[in-house]
A and B are shown apart, each in its own frame.
Chain A
Amino acid sequence: MQAKGFHTTLSTNIPLHARHEYAACNLFVLHELPADIIVDSFELNDHGFRFQFVGNTNLELPTSRIANESGWLLVAIKQEADLVVVDVPLHVRYGVPHEGHNPRHIIQLLPPICFWACPSSYKSLHGTLPSQSPEFRLLNSFVQFEILQHTTSSPLSFDIPVGNICHTLYIELCTVTMTLLAFAYIVQHCWTISKTLYSAHLKMQ
């Protein structure tokens, strides 16, 4: 499923089979997000998430001005039901402008990794997190992981429009022209009203 627009909610469904077997463990979902995606930590706080984000936290830069490195979002989840749904609000940076007719940019999202994180005293588990993922403070007290299968998430990609570089000269000329025309129009009115105010002031004197 593809999201349109610059804002969406990444929804992950996590069926928890035999969750009672993991009573001593914590449930997490790990998202690897492309550099194009913005995670607003303050917004996640408002949603009541317990989370940790490692990545570019500048909310205001376009894609062209940030390093092409993934961001990692780890969300702790309460395992209160047999099916848990995690909704994470995501936003998209403006992409690098392209040439061509109606240029667009597709951003693929990797499926999230849902896993149990268990203490060392727990039975032996064999799951591992991606090697390129950073170290998370939230996982400090956990050493064993069990990756959950059969989780689904949507959307799987973003489809956004980008600026058209072919327009640049036209945009430059017309923007400046309109600015100067508006300037000239207002100057002309200023000149007229200033003469009126000036004669009024003289009469008063």
Chain B
Amino acid sequence: MQPNTSATWQGRIPCFEKLLVISAVLRVVLILYSEWHDAHSIVKYTDIDYRVFSDAARFILYPKLQGNTAKGPLAPLFFTVGDPYARETYRYTPLLAILLLPNEWLHPSFGKYLFAACDLINGALIYQILMLHILPHTKSLAPDVSAENSKRFMRAYATLLAATHLLNPLVFTISTRGSSEAILCTFVLLTLFYALERRHNAAAVMLGLSAHWKIYPIIYGVSCVSVITLQHVDGEGWDFAYLRRLVGRQALCFALLSGGTFIILGAVCYAMWGYPFLYEAYLYHTDRRDHRHNFSPYFYLIYLTYSSSGSTSADLPIWRQLLRSPFTSLIPQLTLSLGTGLILGRLSADLPFVWFVQTFTFVLFNRVCTSQYFIWYTLFIPLLVPRITISWKKWVMCGVVWMGTQALWLAEAYKLEFLGDDVFFGLWVRSLIYVAGHAWVLGVIMSGYTPFVSCNQHTQAPE
């Protein structure tokens, strides 16, 4: 789906700077509203996670509170540092709590302003990536536009696409409610930006930082290494030359640098905060069992079998133990999120598409899924649109199915949570519909993807 190349619609799009100002004002207004709303309503606008971050920041600042001092082997002896993990359900890097220390010094909403600022940075990064790496190679899709108007067309189109992120209700609601996803999105987009610029060392460091923040960006490392390897391989791809390059200097350098960044950050945090950091930030997530309802259909299975795990589960026949095993979701999840990185990661120009597919499959097959996870892949959609050639009707269908399956689930979840209706089974069925619907949407987008080289071939007009 490509926009009309006429000047009319371009004139209606404000410049990118204006879009940034509008987005900033929107977020400031919502943050101010959130303060008023929370003071006057029992049902809070602010996400419960924001309270968790803020409390953790307070615990770092005031170690004498509830005896919560840092428990790391190298925690400073001459002054005490608080332990953010004394706050129950704080399962993030301590760096996040440190970033939010101004919540205590300056203003309780400082964190929200920080997340909103990251939103704006993300919009700017999306705009830059589009202008530098994507639209110049798809300008051939507008062959009737003169070179002079081409830049204006690109600026307008890039602004329009960046606006789909900056003015996306999911995006600005999440950040103004106090969820920290925007920070991770900034790290991921910076990683992508540097990878597209072929500044592999910077990309490796940012990837290590992203993975420290939340573990899932590790999957992007596979596609980065694959792209680096194939840059220097001629031939059919996965032959001996490819395997040799896979462990060659550049690929190894990337892996060591990103792995080293991850390990150094982890080591520093462990030295200060000890095993609680390791467990809460990483180990907890490897074995978490979310029995309360969420989009993943595994919630109901986990709830029904929660008390029968372990010895009683061993009494079941092997095939039923297999059905209950976490590997039934983990194997498809890792196969797709890592395998697509390897198989589809051929050119750096395709990285936005590959990362989209990797993240989408990671979220879709995860045993827990909440609305915030969707932002991990919707982040890439503005970068994909110029290369997805499907009709506007199909785009609308994708939107309807993507949102409709969620709305269907949310309606039932409301009945369960707040009305106490016996809808566990119905909610689980809607979870299955969510999986089917979202898999279909991914399939449509993948089918419509036009690779980088094919776009450039269109510039050669037939003689």
- The answer to whether A96 has its CB under 8 Å from any CB of chain B is yes
Give complex CA distance A161, B418 in Å: 11
Question: Does the CB pair A62–B291 fall under 8 Å?
Answer: yes
Q: Let me know if B420 and A183 touch, CB within 8 A.
A: no
B423 contacts chain A at the CB level, 8 A cutoff:
yes
Residues from chain B with Cβ under 8 Å of A3 in the complex: 420
B436 touches A178 (CB 8 A): yes
Please give, as numbers and ranges, the residues of chain A lying within 8 Å of B87 by CB-CB distance: 42
Instruction: Give B42 Cβ to nearest chain A Cβ, in Å.
Output: 7
Task: Decide if A197 touches B297 in the complex (CB within 8 Å).
Answer: no
Would you call A5 and B417 a contact (CB within 8 A)?
Answer: yes
Which residues of A sit under 8 angstroms from B55, Cβ to Cβ?
42
Given that A6-B420, A60-B89, A190-B340 are contacting pairs, would A175 and B442 also be in contact in the complex, using a CB cutoff of 8 Å?
Answer: no
CB distance from B162 to the nearest CB of A (A): 26
- Interface stretch, picked from A26-34, A67-75, A132-140, A162-170, is A162-170
Contact A187 B424, beta carbon cutoff 8 Å: no
Contact of B303 among A62, A193, A197 (CB under 8 A): A62
Query: B303 and A97: CB pair below 8 A?
Result: yes
B304 and A193 contacting across the interface, CB-CB below 8 Å: no
Q: Are B420 and A161 in touch, CB under 8 angstroms?
A: yes
Q: Choose from A165, A174, A186, A202 the contact partner of B304 (Cβ within 8 Å).
A: A165
A11 to chain B, nearest CB (A): 12
A residues near B167, Cβ cutoff 8 Å:
none
Q: Is residue A180 within 8 Å, beta carbon to beta carbon, of the partner chain?
A: yes
Contact between B424 and A163, CB atoms less than 8 A apart: yes
Given contacts A42-B51, A201-B230, contact A4 B420 (CB under 8 A): yes
In chain A between 147 and 205, which residues have their CB closer than 8 angstroms to a CB of chain B?
159-165, 167-169, 171-176, 178-183, 185-187, 189-190, 192-194, 196-198, 200-205
Chain B residue at minimum C-beta to C-beta distance from A41: B88
In chain A, positions 64-114 with a C-beta closer than 8 Å to chain B are 64-65, 89, 94, 96-97, 102-104
* Contact status of A172 and B301, CB under 8 A, knowing A161-B422, A192-B447, A193-B344: yes
* Option from B303, B329, B332 in Cβ contact (under 8 Å) with A163: B303
Name the interface size band of chain A: 35 or more
Q: Does A120 make an interface contact (CB < 8 A)?
A: no
Complex interface: chain B residues within 8 A of A163 (CB) = 300, 303-304, 424
Nearest B residue to A190, CB-CB: B340
Taking the closest CB of chain A, its distance from the CB of B91, in whole angstroms, is 11
Given that A62-B303, A186-B443 are known contacts, is A102 also in contact with B422, CB under 8 Å in the complex?
Answer: yes
Q: Is the pair A175, B443 in contact by a Cβ cutoff of 8 Å?
A: no
Please tell me if A59 contacts chain B, counting CB pairs below 8 Å. Answer: yes
A9 CB–B CB distance under 8 Å: yes
Which positions 306-322 of chain B face chain A at CB distance < 8 Å?
306-307, 320
List the A side residues contacting B423 at CB < 8 Å. 161
**B417 — which chain A residues lie within 8 A by C-beta?**
5-7
Q: 0/1 per residue, B210-226, Cβ < 8 Å to A?
A: 00000000000000000
Judge if B435 is at the interface, Cβ distance under 8 Å: yes
List residues of chain B with CB within 8 A of the CB of A190: 336, 339-340, 343-344, 357, 446
Chain A residues with CB below 8 A from B149, complex form: none
Q: Does B453 contact A (CB under 8 A)?
A: yes
- The reply to whether B350 and A197 contact each other, CB–CB distance below 8 Å, is yes
Choose one: A89, A176, A196; the contact of B451 (CB below 8 Å): A196
Cβ of A175: which chain B residues have Cβ within 8 Å of it?
Answer: 297-298, 300-301, 328, 428, 432
Nearest-neighbour CB distance to chain B for A158, whole angstroms, equals: 8
A151 CB, nearest partner CB in chain B, Å: 22
Residues of A within 8 A of B432 (CB): 174-175, 178
Task: Answer whether residue A57 sits at the interface, using C-beta atoms and an 8 A cutoff.
Answer: yes
A190 CA to B346 CA in the complex, in Å? Answer: 13
With an 8 A cutoff between CB atoms, is A46 at the interface? yes
- B420 close to A194 (CB less than 8 A): no
Would you give the 0/1 interface string for B412-426, flagging 1 where the beta carbon is closer than 8 Å to chain A?
000011111111110
Which A residue's beta carbon lies closest to that of B305? A168
B449 and A193 within 8 A (CB): yes
| Contacts A160-B420, A171-B304; A186 near B329 (Cβ below 8 A) | no
Per DSSP, are chain A's interface residues mostly helix, strand or loop, or mixed? helix
Name, among B298, B335, B346, the residue most crowded by chain A CB atoms within 10 Å (CB to CB).
B346
Write out the residue numbers on chain A whose beta carbons fall within 8 Å of the beta carbon of B463: none
Question: Once the chains bind, are A200 and B305 in contact (CB under 8 Å)?
Answer: no
Q: Given A197-B346, A200-B451, A186 and B88 touching (CB < 8 A)?
A: no
A174 and B238 alpha carbons, distance in the complex (Å): 36
| Contact between B320 and A172, CB atoms less than 8 A apart | yes
Q: Which of B339, B416, B439 is in CB contact (< 8 Å) with A161? A: B416
Q: Is B452 an interface residue (CB 8 A)?
A: yes
Q: Could you say which residues of chain A place their CB within 8 Å of the CB of B323?
A: 172-173, 176
Closest to B235 in A: A205
Q: For the complex formed, measure the closest distance between the CB of A130 and the CB atoms of chain B, giving whole angstroms.
A: 27
| Minimum Cβ distance to chain A for residue B223 (Å) | 12
How far apart sit A160 and B237, CA to CA, in the bound complex (Å)? Answer: 58
A193 to B421, CA, bound (A): 44
CB distance from A145 to the nearest CB of B (A): 28
CB-CB under 8 A from B292, the residues of chain A are: 94
Using known A-B contacts A196-B451, A197-B344, A198-B237, determine if residue A179 contacts B328 with beta carbons closer than 8 Å: yes
Question: B364 contacts which of A168, A182, A194 (Cβ < 8 Å)?
Answer: A182
Cβ–Cβ contact A169 & B320, under 8 A: yes
| Complex Cα spacing A197 to B353, Å | 11
Cβ distance A7 to chain B, nearest Cβ, rounded Å: 7
Interchain CB contact under 8 A, A204 and B453: yes
Residues of B within 8 A of A9 (CB): 42
A184 to chain B, nearest CB (A): 9
16 pairs, A vs B, C-beta closer than 8 Å: A58-B88, A164-B304, A167-B425, A169-B320, A171-B300, A175-B328, A178-B432, A182-B436, A190-B357, A190-B446, A192-B447, A197-B347, A198-B237, A201-B230, A201-B347, A203-B453
Residues of B within 8 A of A (CB): 42, 51-52, 55, 87-89, 230, 234, 236-237, 291-292, 297-298, 300-301, 303-307, 320, 323-324, 328-329, 332, 335-336, 339-340, 343-344, 346-347, 350, 357, 361, 364-365, 416-425, 428, 432, 435-436, 439-440, 442-443, 446-447, 449, 451-454, 457
